[in-house]
Structures are given as structure tokens and as C-alpha cells.
């Protein structure tokens, strides 16, 4: 790929699109030309990137002439409609939706875990689900050391996972409650302020939601582990930003807790934050706006053979979305090892 590629950001005015632009600038990504694309209602707006203003234009199938790299974050329907057109025009697509994650011809990549898969693309590369990515940042190094077989997980997912509307609803409900006004749910089926909702995404026939099944389905692909099993309960919590996951994981090999700590301390993109006797453990507030995920509350699981329990927190707009996409782009620009 061109060392200073022409970048297109699809969904540029959305929450993740804005984070992509900020992440490109912050990491000094070698952007050659920049095209900002969004829906017709956003066309005509301008966005700032590295102290310059760029116009937002309407996304069409003809938007990708001379584009080298298209970063999509506009939802699955948009990706299915326009990502093939972008790839057909010669761009490499990094897609943040669920549209292509389980397509066997499309690499599903977390660069710290399976970055080499980037170079096997056929025009489209998929970003994983945000909760899956954050969970696997802690689980994958342990898998390399002890060979994971199955996990039981409960997520604590911030309202920003529902976009700007989720953030607005939590803020508005807090205001309503403080003023003794009736709460008016809209984004969520129940009040989210000072409450937790034990369902995220569409309910499936097996009783799990689509969000809950992503940990197993996407985890198998990212870990290159087709027999990996995961039972998850995904919960929406009244936190503005950053997801957390409580994980109990069972492994093939006996657990050495000291070795597990060493493995996590050496793993890229993860910080071991684990001194619970002094109230030191990962907090959503502490990882908001941060690139690294944090893992703590590490202990042997007392209910599983060869088990470890841990708590991991990460910014789902960054490692769960924008940062991961930019890291994939960086890997593409670097080219395959020994190329």
C-alpha cells in the first residue's frame, strides 16, 4: 500500500468516525489525501483534521476513486451496500460493523492478537465487536500460555455503545430524576439511569442475544480456535463511556498465577492493574479516552478446573472501534513482515 495513502472515512460525522479522525491525528498516521463521507443529511458539514477543515460529502458508490484505504463506521446496512464498491474501486476496506465479521473470506482482526491476518485480505477487513475485542485483549495472552477451552463472561456496557442517543438518554433521565419529573425511556425499553438492563441487542432463538454470541463466534476466528466456547450475559449499565467484562476462563493446562501475571504484564495493549487490597483495579472512568485496556482482580477460579477469573475494562470507542481500525491501517501501511 502507498506509504501515504488516500484515506476515506465513511460515517465521518458519527461518534466512531470522529474518534477515527482524532486517532489518525494523534498517532500521526501518514494520511496523504482525506475524503470524509456521510449521509446526505450530513453532507456540506466540515470537520477539522490536523488544523485543516475538510468538507463532508455524500456517500455514493462513486465516492472511492483513487482512495487507497476506506475506514467504514456507518452501520451494517451501509457497509453491505458500499464496502464492495469501495473494494472494487481498489480501496482496502476496514469495516467496523458486523456485516462481514463471520465471512470466512474476510479477516477479523485485533492487531495485537492476529495482526498477520491483515495481509490475507481480499479487499475487506473486519473490526470485531467492541466487547469481544476488549475481552480478548486480556484473554488472548492467557490463551497462548495455557490454551483456553471455554469462558463464562458478564459484560458491563456503557451507554455510549448505543451511540450519541444512549449518552443523551442517560443524561436526560438523570436530569428528570433530579427534578422529580417522570422518566421517559426511548433508546432503551426501561429506565437506564441508576439501573442495569440485562439484555443488549436482538434476542435469538437460543435465548442469548446477538451481542452475547459474538464473543464465541468472533473469538473462534480471532484466536484461530474453532472449538472455543463462551457463555456471556451482556448488560447495559449507567456508565457514559468504556465497557468492562467479568470473565471466568477455563484452560487445558494447569494455572500458575505468577506466570499469568507475567504474561499479562508483557502483553501489548494491556495493563495489569491489580492490587485490590489497596482498591487498585480497572475502572471504566480510568480507561475512558485511553488506548490501553486494563485487567485486574486476577485470581484462580474456585469453580473451574484450571480456571482464572479476571476483570477487564477498555474504551469501546477506541480499542473496541476507532483505535483498532487505525491499528489495522497502520499494519497495512507497514506491509507484511520480511516483505
pLDDT tens digits along 153-179? 999 999 999 988 999 999 999 999 999
Shared-domain flag, residues 328 and 242 = no
- pLDDT the model gives residue 1: 75
- Catalytic: which of 6, 121, 143, 243? 243
CA distance linking residue 140 with residue 117, whole number of Å: 15
Active site residue 234: no
CA distance linking residue 300 with residue 307, whole number of Å: 6
Active site residue 243: yes
Q: What percent of the chain stands above pLDDT 70? A: 99
CA distance linking residue 151 with residue 310, whole number of Å: 11
The average pLDDT across 105-128 equals 97
Nearest to 111, CA basis, from 83, 152, 140, 68: 140
The average pLDDT across 209-234 equals 98
- pLDDT the model gives residue 336: 83
Residue that has been written with the C-alpha cell 501501511 in this structure: 333
Shared-domain flag, residues 107 and 230 = no
Give the residue numbers spanning the domain of 14.
Answer: 7-127+321-334
Model confidence at 339, pLDDT cuts 50, 70, 90, reads: low
Shared-domain flag, residues 184 and 328 = no
pLDDT in tens, 288-333: 999 999 999 999 999 999 999 999 999 999 999 999 999 999 999 9
The CA-atom distances, in angstroms, between 187 and each of 165, 175, 216 are 7, 16, 27
pLDDT in tens, 219-230: 999 999 999 999
Model confidence at 3, pLDDT cuts 50, 70, 90, reads: confident
CATH number, residue 80: 3.40.50.720
Shared-domain flag, residues 248 and 289 = yes
Specify the number of domains making up the chain.
2
Task: Kindly report the average pLDDT of the chain as a whole number.
Answer: 96
306 sits in the region (left: phi over 0; alpha: psi -120 to 50; else beta) called: left
To the nearest 10°, report the CA torsion of 104, 107, 110, 116: 120
Residue that has been written with the C-alpha cell 432503551 in this structure: 188
- Catalytic: which of 130, 143, 234, 293? 130
C-alpha grid cell for residue 40? 446526505
The average pLDDT across 13-30 equals 95
Model confidence, pTM: 0.96
In a domain, 2, yes or no: no
Amino acid at each position: 500500500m502507498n506509504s501515504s495513502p488516500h484515506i476515506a472515512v465513511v460515517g465521518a460525522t458519527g461518534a466512531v468516525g470522529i474518534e477515527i479522525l482524532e486517532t489518525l491525528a494523534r498517532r500521526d498516521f501518514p494520511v496523504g489525501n482525506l475524503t470524509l463521507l456521510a449521509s446526505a443529511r450530513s453532507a456540506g458539514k466540515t470537520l477539522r483534521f490536523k488544523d485543516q477543515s475538510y468538507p463532508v460529502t455524500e456517500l455514493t458508490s462513486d465516492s472511492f476513486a483513487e482512495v487507497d484505504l476506506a475506514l467504514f463506521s456507518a452501520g451494517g446496512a451501509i457497509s453491505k451496500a458500499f464496502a464492495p464498491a469501495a473494494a472494487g474501486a481498489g480501496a482496502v476496506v476496514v469495516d467496523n460493523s458486523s456485516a462481514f465479521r463471520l465471512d470466512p473470506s474476510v479477516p477479523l482482526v485485533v492487531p495485537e492478537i492476529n495482526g498477520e491476518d491483515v495481509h490475507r485480505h481480499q479487499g475487506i477487513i473486519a473490526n470485531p465487536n467492541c466487547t469481544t475485542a476488549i475481552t480478548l485483549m486480556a484473554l488472548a495472552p492467557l490463551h497462548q500460555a495455557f490454551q483456553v477451552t471455554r469462558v463464562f463472561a458478564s459484560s458491563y456496557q456503557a451507554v455510549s455503545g448505543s451511540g450519541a442517543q444512549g449518552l443523551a438518554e442517560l443524561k436526560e433521565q438523570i436530569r428528570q430524576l433530579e427534578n422529580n419529573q417522570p422518566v421517559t425511556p426511548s433508546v432503551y425499553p426501561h429506565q437506564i439511569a441508576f439501573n442495569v438492563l440485562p439484555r443488549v441487542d436482538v434476542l435469538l432463538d437460543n435465548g442469548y442475544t446477538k451481542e452475547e454470541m459474538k464473543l464465541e463466534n468472533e473469538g473462534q476466528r480471532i484466536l484461530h480456535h474453532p472449538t472455543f466456547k463462551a457463555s456471556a450475559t451482556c448488560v447495559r449499565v449507567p456508565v457514559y463511556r468504556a465497557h468492562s467484562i467479568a470473565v471466568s476462563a477455563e484452560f487445558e493446562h494447569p494455572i500458575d498465577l505468577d506466570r499469568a501475571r507475567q504474561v499479562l504484564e508483557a502483553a501489548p495493549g494491556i495493563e495489569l492493574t491489580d492490587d485490590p487490597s489497596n482498591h487498585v483495579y480497572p475502572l471504566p472512568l480510568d480507561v475512558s479516552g485511553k488506548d490501553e485496556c486494563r485487567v485486574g482482580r486476577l485470581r484462580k477460579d474456585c469453580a473451574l478446573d484450571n480456571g482464572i477469573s479476571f476483570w477487564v475494562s477498555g474504551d469501546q470507542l477506541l480499542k473496541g472501534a476507532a483505535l483498532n481500525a487505525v491499528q489495522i491501517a497502520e499494519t497495512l501501511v507497514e506491509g507484511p513482515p520480511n516483505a
